[in-house]
Amino acid sequence: MNVDAVILAAGKGERLKPLTNILPKPLLPIVDKPLIKILIENLINSGVKNIYIVISNKRELFEKYLKEYNIEYIIQKEPLGTADAIKCVKEYVSEPFLTLFGDCLYSENDIKGMIRKYKNSSVIGIKYVNDAYKYGVFINGDIVEKPKNIKEGYVLTGLNLFTDEIFNYIERVKKSPRGEYELTDALRMLLKNSKYEVYELKDYWNDIGTFTNYMDTCFYILENMKEEIFGKIEDNVKIKGKVILKEGAEILSNTYIEGIAYIGENSKIGPFSRLRGKVIIGRNCRIGSFVEIKNSIIYDNTNVPHLNYVGDSIIASNCNLGAGTKIANLRLDEKNIRMKIKGEKVDIGRRKFGCVIGFNTKIGINVSINPGKRIGNNCKIGPGVIVYDDVEDNTTIIVKQEYIVKK
């Protein structure tokens, strides 16, 4: 059966700033490749021939990262919602066609299962989760959007297989209170008036829309990678767990690794470094002497070279941490970490979370960063600064020391 696929990738990724100020959310790396690349590979392996990606901007970045694939890009000129995004592909797709969100991880097995479920009517993909209150919940053939009184249940996943009938319902959708045409409203009409099938996703599924979900997805992929050693490991290195060591990478003497570590091409770890928990190090990175990294993600071309602690954090590409920089990941009162999201402090549901540092940012020596803070892209944080609050893109912070000279 010939099936087209539409990946919705026009969202702004507000909750993942500063990372999404530079990279669209679907292009954020999941260990060693962008999320959307994983989706495309899973679609191709499922027999999908024609893939359309709906974007709003930054087409050149999508083309750069996905140049080896034959992709048709559809521009959503205004951010008018998911129903409008699907409406944009009406003249391109043939029925049946898959839709999936570009910021969710879907397995090849579930995509194949969705296609097998097709019997000349739309198929709606659902998943049982423990935090259903965050999503649209599927209850007795209806959809309840983010119900406060429901903790567990079946939620909509964004993976659907539609017939052309969906376009008739999309035409009838009215703008929501937030000024968008919501796919959920079209689905409600479909569920009420048409035949449909339901497919329950069997494999891992996650929406990377928050930093914690993004890290969980990265670590899930990491856990399921096979151990491989293509680089060099010196004498006196202790490994208690699994290591994926890419070509040209080195682990120098007296380094201690416990847990699971991915170390990208041409990166150098040690001597006297410690990696624990789940750690992802990108390409061309330098993790130096007496550095401890725990449950963190470090993008390409970033250096953490001397006497640093990085816990439960995300550090983007082309960054440098000065000697003695420490990232705190636990409040003194041990309450859950709170992060600013759209101007409001929100409980992220975790006791331990460090910080997020954007692209091309330099951190001076002996900088202390408090839990739950974001430091933007292209920033400079001077020596001795204590980061108490979020730092916007393109900001320089210098602490001025007052001192007395006596002779």
182-195 residue pLDDT tens: 999 999 999 999 99
Task: For residue 306, indicate whether it is catalytic.
Answer: yes
Angle, to 10 degrees, between the axis of helix 108-117 and the axis of helix 35-45? Answer: 50
Same domain for 251 and 182? no
Residue 255 lies in a domain: yes
Cis peptide before 271 (omega within 30 of 0): yes
User: Can you give the pLDDT at residue 337?
Assistant: 96
User: Can you give the pLDDT at residue 171?
Assistant: 94
Q: Given the residues 286, 306, 326, 352, select the one marked as catalytic.
A: 306
Same domain for 64 and 188? yes
Residue type, 388: Y
Same domain for 11 and 138? yes
Same domain for 189 and 302? no
User: Can you give the pLDDT at residue 148?
Assistant: 79
Residue 269 lies in a domain: yes
The count of domains in the chain is 2
- CATH code where residue 248 lies: 2.160.10.10
Residue 311 lies in a domain: yes
User: Can you give the pLDDT at residue 303?
Assistant: 98
Q: Domain ends where: 148, 176, 209?
A: 209
- CATH code where residue 153 lies: 3.90.550.10
Same domain for 300 and 374? yes
Same domain for 133 and 237? no
Residue 407 lies in a domain: no
Same domain for 10 and 127? yes
Q: Domain ends where: 152, 176, 209?
A: 209
Same domain for 320 and 189? no
Residue type, 266: N
- What is the domain range of residue 177? 4-209
pLDDT top residue among 391 and 134: 391
Residue 366 lies in a domain: yes
Q: Give CA separation, 98 vs 74, 170, 390, 400, in Å.
A: 15, 16, 39, 57
Same domain for 198 and 96? yes
pLDDT digits (tens, 9 = 90+) for 33-86: 999 999 999 999 999 989 999 999 899 999 999 999 999 999 998 888 999 999
234, two tokens: 């010196």
178, two tokens: 């937030």
User: Can you give the pLDDT at residue 78?
Assistant: 85
Same domain for 202 and 236? no
User: Can you give the pLDDT at residue 341?
Assistant: 86
pLDDT digits (tens, 9 = 90+) for 285-319: 999 999 999 999 999 999 999 999 999 999 999 99
d(CA 374, CA 393): 10
Q: Domain ends where: 161, 188, 209?
A: 209
User: Can you give the pLDDT at residue 17?
Assistant: 96
Same domain for 149 and 14? yes
pTM for the full model?
A: 0.94
Same domain for 130 and 181? yes
User: Can you give the pLDDT at residue 127?
Assistant: 95
